[in-house]
């Protein structure tokens, strides 16, 4: 982004009123420069051939201290940077900013509410919950790094018809001692048993609806059971969050908004949006090519559509957000389209600030996970298995390593988070043990190991690299292709963070960190640091090692992953 800005600044005076930023691209090969401007899209604007436009622009532009050469290749205008100045600029900037390198103040004064994770009470925290949890947490960290005030909300699923099913199941087959001893496992068994029995006895579904209705009406026995299920589940969930290193500003269940529903309904009635359809209260959305948004079922039970509308209104009143993100899987796409449209029809201008950050499903090779059938992979089991494998590798390869347990935990959790975030969030991903726990190639441990290697070099150097003072003329010493490639990559860190935020895709950052780790390893193998005899070159290379370590550390943090100093 730093370098791209230099090109934009140069072009501004000769291309007024043109969206230069979105036209500039990185060429596929080094011989075509660091950046290029394809002139095809300018042809219609200037009524000239692209190669003619490129030639005319080239004559008008003059190189400066950062851009040493500008030349045309057919319809492309190519920019070549002054590598000595780029090396000086990037290394000094990282040396000065350290933990804040890549951050910005663009979000100052703005608030973003991020709704993510949102597990259902009385159900296990499965691997399926991983996507919303780690994507949401990474976006929270990224936007904070860009200066936004972020509010993270865990919208716990603690209301709805499933509680009627659980109450029925517990009354019929529940065991108090088993509930206290192993709450999630026992409640899952009851939930699965309910659905098996309901296939044979259809009356159970009616009983469940009745029990949920009694819960809404405040029946004492049902409220007490619901509170117990919620308390025990939250306790288990928080253990998982603590292990993942994730915290929330607020845990707010759906039930919190139940008391606001009548007020919301009154508002919708005033706006003449509510009508009755087959006994249910709905907002008709036919003219928007959507099915009706159901607010209350025919039996009077409220829906999660109504609760989400109430929640959005409450959140805007409380936070006056500039944006509200719902990190929820793609199956809820229609739901959010309906909710946002109803908010818009109410006259809330801020409805357009609500965005569904959808993501693909986590699947098994045999299909989608299903809690009703008990077909789930518990996240803690995955974390335990990964840690066991990493601990075994550490004991074999580095038996003298201190804090093996702690580092194994950081690396195994990092591996699982990175595996998820490396995938484009829009795509479905298949949970396969061998791929999740494969620590070779494009993986979290590969990035973490590059970071720990950089830390090891700096430790052996016994030099306070961050305090190094170098003369301007010595930056030309860094001129090998591996050095220049790495410096240029490090210089793009801020741009990558901004792109990740713009598209709500931590995968952009994850892939960039793989590139940095690869470039660092190429540099490390080609350019001796500790054994270099030229003292100034040695210091410069150590400064480049420090800069690489800093970018890897900052990037891993933004993904919600620890950066161990030894592995």
Kind plus residue range of the DSSP H or E element containing 251:
strand 250-251
Task: Give the full edge-to-edge strand order of the sheet including 67-73.
Answer: 35-38, 76-81, 67-73
d(CA 156, CA 49): 59
pLDDT at 367: 58
DSSP state of 369: -
DSSP state of 285: -
pLDDT at 31: 86
Pick the CATH number of 379-559 from 3.40.50.2300, 1.10.730.10, 1.20.120.350, 3.40.50.2000: 1.10.730.10
Check if the beta carbon of residue 541 is closer than 8 Å to that of residue 427: no
d(CA 463, CA 477): 19
Check if the beta carbon of residue 124 is closer than 8 Å to that of residue 381: no
pTM: 0.92
Q: Pairing state of beta strands 35-38 and 354-359?
A: unpaired
pLDDT at 372: 47
Helix (H, G, I), strand (E, B) or coil at 446: helix
Per-residue pLDDT of the chain (567 residues; tens, 9 = 90+): 567 888 998 998 899 888 898 899 989 888 899 999 999 989 988 999 999 999 999 999 999 888 999 999 999 999 999 999 999 999 999 999 999 999 999 999 999 999 999 999 888 888 889 999 999 999 999 999 999 999 999 999 998 888 999 999 999 999 999 998 888 889 989 988 999 999 999 899 999 999 998 998 899 999 999 999 999 999 999 999 999 999 999 999 999 998 999 999 999 999 999 999 999 999 999 999 999 999 999 988 889 999 999 999 999 999 999 999 999 999 999 999 999 999 999 999 999 999 999 999 988 776 554 544 545 778 888 899 889 989 998 999 889 899 999 999 999 999 999 999 999 999 999 887 777 777 778 999 999 999 999 999 999 998 888 778 888 889 999 999 999 999 999 999 999 999 999 999 999 999 999 999 999 999 999 999 999 999 999 999 999 999 999 999 999 999 999 999 998
Number of alpha carbons in the 13 Å side-chain half-sphere of residue 411: 31
What are the E-state strand segments in 62-148?
67-73, 76-81, 111-115
d(CA 450, CA 419): 17
Token reading at 421: 């975030």
Check if the beta carbon of residue 563 is closer than 8 Å to that of residue 556: yes
Helix (H, G, I), strand (E, B) or coil at 501: helix
Q: Which residue has the tokens 């609760």?
A: 307
Q: Tell me the domain boundaries of the chain.
A: 2-81, 379-559
Query: How many residues are there in the chain?
Result: 567
Q: Pairing state of beta strands 323-329 and 293-296?
A: unpaired
**For residue 380, which of 238, 178, 191 has the smallest C-alpha distance?**
238
List C-alpha distances in Å: 313 to 178, 248, 334: 40, 20, 19
Instruction: Label residue 474 exposed, middle or buried (CB < 10 Å: 0-12, 13-18, 19+).
Output: middle
pLDDT at 368: 53
pLDDT at 91: 95
Check if the beta carbon of residue 61 is closer than 8 Å to that of residue 75: no
Cα 277 from chain centroid (whole Å): 40
CATH of domain 2-81: 3.30.1360.70
Token reading at 220: 């004492």
pLDDT at 435: 77
d(CA 389, CA 386): 5
List C-alpha distances in Å: 397 to 221, 401, 402: 57, 9, 13
21-58 pLDDT, tens digit each? 889 998 988 889 999 999 998 998 899 999 999 999 99
Check if the beta carbon of residue 67 is closer than 8 Å to that of residue 82: yes
In angstroms, how far apart are the furthest CA atoms of the chain? Answer: 85
Task: Give the full edge-to-edge strand order of the sheet including 429-430.
Answer: 367-368, 362-364, 429-430
List C-alpha distances in Å: 116 to 152, 240, 315, 326, 430: 7, 15, 14, 6, 21
313-353 pLDDT, tens digit each? 999 999 999 999 999 999 999 999 999 999 999 999 999 99
Cα 146 from chain centroid (whole Å): 14
Q: Which residues contact 335 (CB under 8 A, 6 or more apart)?
A: 304, 305, 308
Secondary structure of 381-444 in HEC code, one letter for each residue: HHHHHHHHHHHHHHHHHCCCCCCHHHHHHHHHHHHHHHHHHHCCCCCCEECCHHHHCCCCCCCH
* Dihedral over alpha carbons 199, 202, 206, 211 (to 10 degrees): -50
């Amino acid at each position: 982004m730093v370098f791209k800005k230099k090109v934009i600044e140069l072009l501004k005076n000769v291309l007024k009123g043109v969206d230069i930023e979105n036209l500039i691209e990185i060429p596929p090969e080094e011989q075509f420069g660091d950046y290029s401007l394809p002139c095809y899209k300018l042809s219609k604007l200037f009524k000239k051939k692209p190669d003619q436009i490129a030639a005319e622009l080239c004559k008008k532009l003059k190189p400066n201290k950062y851009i040493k050469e500008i030349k045309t290749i057919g319809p492309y205008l190519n920019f070549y940077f002054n590598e000595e100045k780029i090396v000086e600029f990037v290394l000094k900037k990282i040396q000065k900013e350290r933990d804040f390198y890549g951050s910005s103040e663009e979000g100052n004064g703005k608030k973003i509410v991020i709704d993510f994770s949102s597990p259902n009470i009385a159900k296990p925290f499965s691997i399926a919950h991983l996507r919303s949890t780690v994507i949401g947490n990474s976006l929270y960290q990224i936007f904070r790094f860009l200066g936004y005030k972020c509010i993270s909300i865990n919208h716990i699923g603690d209301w709805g018809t499933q509680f009627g099913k659980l109450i029925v199941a517990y009354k019929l087959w529940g065991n108090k001692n088993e509930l206290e001893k192993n709450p999630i496992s026992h409640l899952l068994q009851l939930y699965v048993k309910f659905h098996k029995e309901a296939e044979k006895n259809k009356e159970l579904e009616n009983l469940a609806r009745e029990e949920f209705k009694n819960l809404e009406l405040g029946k004492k026995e049902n409220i007490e059971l619901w509170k117990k299920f919620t308390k025990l589940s939250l306790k288990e969930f928080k253990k998982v969050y603590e292990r993942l290193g994730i915290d929330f500003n607020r845990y707010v269940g759906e039930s919190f908004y139940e008391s606001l529903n009548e007020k919301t309904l009154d508002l919708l009635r005033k706006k003449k949006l509510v009508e009755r359809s087959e006994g249910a209260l709905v907002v008709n959305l036919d003219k928007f090519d959507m099915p009706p948004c159901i607010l209350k079922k025919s039996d009077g039970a409220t829906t999660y559509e109504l609760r989400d509308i109430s929640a959005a209104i409450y959140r805007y009143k409380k936070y006056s957000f500039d944006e509200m993100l719902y990190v929820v899987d793609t199956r809820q796409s229609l739901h959010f389209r309906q909710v946002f449209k109803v908010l818009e029809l109410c006259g809330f201008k801020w409805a357009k600030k609500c965005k569904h950050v959808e993501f693909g499903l986590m699947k098994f090779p045999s299909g989608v996970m299903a809690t009703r059938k008990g077909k789930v992979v518990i996240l803690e089991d995955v974390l335990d298995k990964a840690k066991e494998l990493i601990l075994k590798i550490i004991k074999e390869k580095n038996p003298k390593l201190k804090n093996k347990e702690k580092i194994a935990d950081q690396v195994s959790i990092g591996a699982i988070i990175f595996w998820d975030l490396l995938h484009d969030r829009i795509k479905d991903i298949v949970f396969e043990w061998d791929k999740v726990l494969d620590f070779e190639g494009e993986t979290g441990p590969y990035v973490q190991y590059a970071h720990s290697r950089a830390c090891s070099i700096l430790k052996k150097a016994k030099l306070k690299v961050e305090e190094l003072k170098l003369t301007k003329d010595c930056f030309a010493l860094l001129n090998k292709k591996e050095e220049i490639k790495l410096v240029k990559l490090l210089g793009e860190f801020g741009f990558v963070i901004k792109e990740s935020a713009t598209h709500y895709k931590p995968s952009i950052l994850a892939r960039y960190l793989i590139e940095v780790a690869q470039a660092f390893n190429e540099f490390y193998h080609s350019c001796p640091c500790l054994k270099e005899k030229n003292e100034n070159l040695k210091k410069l290379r150590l400064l480049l090692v420090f800069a690489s370590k800093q970018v890897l550390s900052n990037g891993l943090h933004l993904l919600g992953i620890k950066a161990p100093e030894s592995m």
